[in-house]
Structure formats: C-alpha cells, structure tokens
Amino acid sequence: MSTKSRANIAYDTFIKWANSYQEFLRIAERRALKVSPAHKQAWQIAFSLQRLLKRRQSSRFEYLFARDKLDIVTFKSLDSIAERLDKGWTEAEEADLRERMAAYRDNSWAIEDIQSKWDPHALDDARQLLENDSKYREARLALSERARKLEL
C-alpha cells in the first residue's frame, strides 16, 4: 500500500473515530445528567471541555495532514496519532495554528479558561454514579468496540 493510500485511510479512520467519540459524549452527558442531576453544571462543564479537547485534536490532525507532516510511523494506530496530536504537539505548531485559524485559537482559549477554573474533584462522587449506570457502560463499550474496528 502506498504512503498516500495509507494516509487517506488514516484520515478517514481518524474522522470516524473523532465522530464516534462525539456521539459517545452526547450519550454520556445525557446519562450523567440523569443519574446525577444535582451536579448538572459540573457535568456540563466537564463534557464541554471534552468536546473542546476533541475539536482541538481534530484541528491539529487537519493541520498536520494538510501540510503532509504526519509520517508513516504516526499512522500505525489511532493511539499513535492521538499521541502525536497531544504529547508530540510542538509550541511552533501551536503558535502557527493559532495564527492561521481563529476558530482554533478561540477553542484553545476556551479550554484554557475551563481548565484554569476547574475543580478536579467536582465530580468525584457523581462519576461513580455514572460508572455504575448500565446505559453509560453500554455506550462506553460500544465506543471501545467501534475504536477496535477502526484500528489501523
């Protein structure tokens, strides 16, 4: 398989993976609000942050893909792509993407704002309620299965 074909497969797979995760977040948020309505605001903030983080990751992927900066090693797995987009992301890439794309810049600021105000223990008790919810567990398992099927 040519590098170009592998890149196109990785691109399509990554988009499906990101969309699958967004769908999971919709289900998970509905379940969280149902099983723990007293924590509504904290749940909404937590899920908003997760959506923003996935959008940021997708923007980074698009940026690197468009510039042909994802090497074949990165395309080995979805995990390796995610690692490149999160841990392997450079300050120079961050500065360039923020400069080029206002939506990315706004998204990054929103992430920073939420993270600066977030109490990491705000959902400790409520998280266990969610983890015990059978419909949430089903959604999480379905996400895992979709990711497994998409694996490069």
Could you report the per-residue pLDDT of 93-102, keeping only the tens digit for each? 999 999 999 9
At residue 71 the predicted structure's pLDDT band, cuts being 50, 70 and 90, is confident
Q: Percent of the chain scored above 70 by pLDDT?
A: 94
Query: What pLDDT is recorded for position 69?
Result: 83
Mean pLDDT throughout 17-41?
96
Mean pLDDT throughout 137-149?
92
At residue 148 the predicted structure's pLDDT band, cuts being 50, 70 and 90, is confident
Report the amino acid identity of residue 143. L
> Is 0.85 surpassed by the pTM of this model?
yes
Task: State the residue for tokens 């919810």.
Answer: 133
Q: Who has greater pLDDT, 1 or 47?
A: 47
64 CB contacts (<8 Å, ≥6 apart)? 70, 84, 85, 93
pLDDT for residue 152 is more than 60: no
Answer for the pair 34, 92: CB distance below 8 angstroms, yes or no. Answer: no
Answer for the pair 32, 130: CB distance below 8 angstroms, yes or no. Answer: yes
Distance between CA atoms of residues 112 and 108, nearest Å: 6
Query: What pLDDT is recorded for position 151?
Result: 75
Q: Where are the domains of the chain?
A: 3-150
